[in-house]
Amino acid sequence: MRFGVIGANTDLRGGIVFKYFPREEGVLAAICERDPAMVEKFRKTWPEFAQTPVYADYREMLKVPELEAVFIMVRDPYHEEMAVAALEAGKAVYLEKPMAITLEGCDRILEAAYRTGCKLFLGHNMRYLPVVLKMKELIDSGVIGEVQSVWCRHFISYGSCYFRHWCAEQKNCTGLLLQKGAHDIDVIHWLAGGYTERAVGMGRLSVYNRTTDRLAPGEAPDRAASWKEDCWPPDQLKGLSPELDVEDHSMLLMQLDNGVQASYEQCMYTPDSERNYTFIGTRGRLENVGDMESAEVHVWTKRGSRQEPDQRHVIPAMDGSHGGSDAAIIKAFFDFAGKGITPATSPLAARNAVAAGVAGHLSMRNGNMPQVIPPVPAEWIAYFENGQKKTDR
């Protein structure tokens, strides 16, 4: 499969394609990158792609007829226009999460995929994360009975990174409950077996707005600074974006269409990092301890006041970024676009994760009013649930 990559940042999402794509199944036939310094870095880092043509404008790259597939690895506000253009140009599309920054944007992408019949794949890599897969396996085995209630607490020690770059402004991402939380809302939907139909949100910009010594307008941010030990305390940080208007902590309550009720809490200024999920069913509860590098899943099925779980599942550490899930999801795209193998990710689910995130932001910015999520047309549901094949019914 001859493919192109839009957004050739070798240290970020473009880099996972260059690193992990299966050489026996794909040929990197073009890249599109608007930053000349990034193109130079790409050339130096990947001498094996020295001859790969480079485009500054993605529309020019999409005109190449031999290109069968495109990876869209750029910031969220471009997802909608680039995905629709790539589908209309007849390419299979790998689109990074979140699908788009509005519900309307997601529905435009779904419509374009349905109309053109071109394959659409969403980069929700947490569906390939070993600890998530173990929790899904345990829930599907029935060990905790029927899931009724889900809580996810999300602590983000490197959260200041989002307040250094494009994510700091609502106009670029809507907000971080959607931008970052789309991963977790999707996991909650997947493991609980339903989609949010009504949501309530609460959140505030409470800490990073206190910082001074911000970047000058247009000055390049130092993203890596947010991973350093001295990146503390959060209200004293330097070098954040001059404009900040997204919430730095948020909470979302979700009513799912199968009766399950869920909550997701995100904080961007904690000293530690973890996604901590609890699924509670009619016969027990499970919880993860650790998520990316090494993790355990604890299960309680017997009543008692003790802390010790009845089952403890140790998840071995996997090589590669994001706990091994990045390598797995790139392979899954080639399996899907090239061989028709159904992936774990789903465009409908990606849309519904954005829908819940958007609803949470609307609610938190409008007096915590509940927001009802509009459904997608039945024929789209049938198409996407049937492996992106049209049926006669």
Task: For residues 65 and 331, give the distance between their C-alpha atoms in angstroms, rounded to a whole number.
Answer: 23
Q: Does 151 bind ligand NAD (CB under 6 A)?
A: no
- CB of 208 closer than 8 Å to CB of 163: yes
Smaller CB distance to ligand NAD: residue 9 or 276? 9
Task: For residues 393 and 382, give the distance between their C-alpha atoms in angstroms, rounded to a whole number.
Answer: 9
Query: According to CB under 6 A, which one of 2, 19, 34, 331 is a site residue for ligand NAD?
Result: 34
Smaller CB distance to ligand NAD: residue 180 or 214? 180
Residues 300-319 that bind ligand NAD (CB under 6 A): none
Nearest distance from C-beta of residue 322 to ligand NAD, angstroms: 5
**In sequence order, what are the beta bridge partners of 70?**
4, 93
Residue nearest ligand NAD (C-beta atom): 7
- Cα distances from 379 to residues 110, 186, 267, 393, in angstroms, run 11, 22, 38, 9
Residues 319-348 that bind ligand NAD (CB under 6 A): 322
Nearest distance from C-beta of residue 357 to ligand NAD, angstroms: 12
Give 50's contacts (C-beta < 8 A, 6+ positions apart). 43
For 314, phi and psi rounded to 5 degrees? -90, 130
For residue 198, with 0-12 CB atoms within 10 Å meaning exposed, 13-18 middle and 19 or more buried, which class applies? middle
Smaller CB distance to ligand NAD: residue 183 or 214? 183
Query: According to CB under 6 A, which one of 62, 70, 76, 186 is a site residue for ligand NAD?
Result: 76
Smaller CB distance to ligand NAD: residue 225 or 382? 225
Task: For residues 3 and 382, give the distance between their C-alpha atoms in angstroms, rounded to a whole number.
Answer: 28
Q: Does 12 bind ligand NAD (CB under 6 A)?
A: yes
Query: According to CB under 6 A, which one of 5, 74, 161, 373 is a site residue for ligand NAD?
Result: 74
Smaller CB distance to ligand NAD: residue 260 or 329? 329
- Cα distances from 161 to residues 11, 42, 165, in angstroms, run 15, 23, 7
- CB of 101 closer than 8 Å to CB of 173: yes
Query: According to CB under 6 A, which one of 15, 18, 29, 33 is a site residue for ligand NAD?
Result: 33
Query: According to CB under 6 A, which one of 19, 43, 75, 136 is a site residue for ligand NAD?
Result: 75
Q: Does 155 bind ligand NAD (CB under 6 A)?
A: no
Residue whose tokens read 């339903």: 194
Residues 107-126 that bind ligand NAD (CB under 6 A): 123, 125
Smaller CB distance to ligand NAD: residue 35 or 111? 35
Residues 263-302 that bind ligand NAD (CB under 6 A): none
Give 44's contacts (C-beta < 8 A, 6+ positions apart). none
- CB of 89 closer than 8 Å to CB of 96: no
Query: According to CB under 6 A, which one of 73, 129, 205, 358 is a site residue for ligand NAD?
Result: 73
Report how many helices (DSSP H) and strands (DSSP E) the chain contains, helices first.
12, 15
Q: Does 9 bind ligand NAD (CB under 6 A)?
A: yes
- Contacts with ligand NAD, residue ranges (CB under 6 A): 6-9, 12-14, 32-35, 38, 58, 73-76, 78, 96-97, 123, 125, 166, 322
